Amino acid sequence: MLEIRNLHVHYGAVKALKGISLAVGSGQIVALIGANGAGKSTSLRAISGIADVSSGEIIFDGIDITNKPPHVIVFAGISHAPEGRMIFANLTTRENLEMGAYLRKDKGEIRKDIEYLFSIFPKLKERINQPGGKLSGGEQQMLAIGRALLARPKLLLLDEPSLGIAPILVKTIFQKIVEINKELQTTILLVEQNAHMALSIADYGYVMETGEIRLHAPASELAQNEEVKKAYLGM
């Protein structure tokens, strides 16, 4: 479904990605793990068109989407829940979700999707008319995921969905991610600090280090890998 070949991204003089290649198959959950500053978020930003690619290719469903503007990429079926839950602070929960469906015209279906989303995240329903900026961190995270889902993406890019979430909620968030993957058949590329959790729900995993892919293997294998255990699982 998604294939990245030899991707390079620079921020000015900083080389954030130094030729990474990875693939995400249809229906999979793929985890991208690595230390701070490894280039995980940059990879997602490059896919969704927010970061400029200096060389390499990003192919989605057989179409080259490298350096296409973000709104074109959303339209093609990729939706990005950016790091740090960038929700619209002055729009209400409902409006935030509606903005997620910005490119869709099917009003009735959008309403159904919002209802469905409330069944996944009941907390959001209680906050429906509150401005996004007034939600708690965890609620904002749910909102960011929900908003990305409302585009009805084929591929969902999640950047650290567990960031700043209470440990007890982290589990729930990951359960919801699996639920979204199974029930909506949404393919997911998941960036996580919480490598243990990410690998436990993923089909396949990539380990990044300073702008490069260090290792990649089926998630269950990665979780057993000595190097990974030491560096990312704290064992």
Ligand X SMILES: Nc1ncnc2c1ncn2[C@@H]1O[C@H](COP(=O)(O)OP(=O)(O)OP(=O)(O)O)[C@@H](O)[C@H]1O
Positions touching Mg ion (CB under 5 A) are 41, 83
Residue 84 sits in the site that holds ligand X (CB under 6 A): no
The β-bridge relationship of strands 155-159 and 78-81 is: parallel
Side chain identity, residue 92: T
- Contact between 127 and 108 (Cβ < 8 Å): no
Question: One symbol per residue from 131 to 160: x for binding ligand X (CB under 6 A), - otherwise; what is it?
Answer: ------------------------------
Q: From the list Mg ion, another protein, ligand X, none, pick the one residue 180 interacts with, judged by a Cβ distance below 5 to 8 Å according to partner type.
A: none
Token pair in block for residue 86: 């960038």
**CB-CB contact of 42 with 204 (8 Å):** no
Q: Which among 10-18, 95-103, 123-131, 175-183 is the span making contact with ligand X, rule CB under 6 A?
A: 10-18
Packing angle, helices 107-120 and 93-100, rounded to 10: 120
- Site track 126-145 with another protein (rule: CB under 8 A), x = hit: -----x--------------
Given ligand X, another protein, Mg ion, none, residue 90, with its beta carbon under 5 to 8 Å by kind, binds: another protein
Examine residue 80 and tell whether it contacts ligand X (CB under 6 A): no
Phi-psi region of 164 (alpha: psi -120 to 50; beta: other; left: phi over 0): left
| 63 close to 76: Cβ distance less than 8 angstroms | yes
Query: Tokens 């939600």 sit at which residue?
Result: 135
R_g over Cα of the chain: 17
Which of residues 100 and 161 has its CB atom nearest to another protein in the complex? Answer: 100
With CB under 5 to 8 Å by kind, the binding choice for 16 among another protein, Mg ion, ligand X, none is ligand X
Rounded to a whole number of angstroms, the minimum distance from the CB of residue 87 to another protein is: 7
* Residues forming the site for another protein (CB under 8 A): 48-50, 69-71, 74-75, 79-82, 86-91, 95, 98-100, 102-103, 131, 147-148, 151
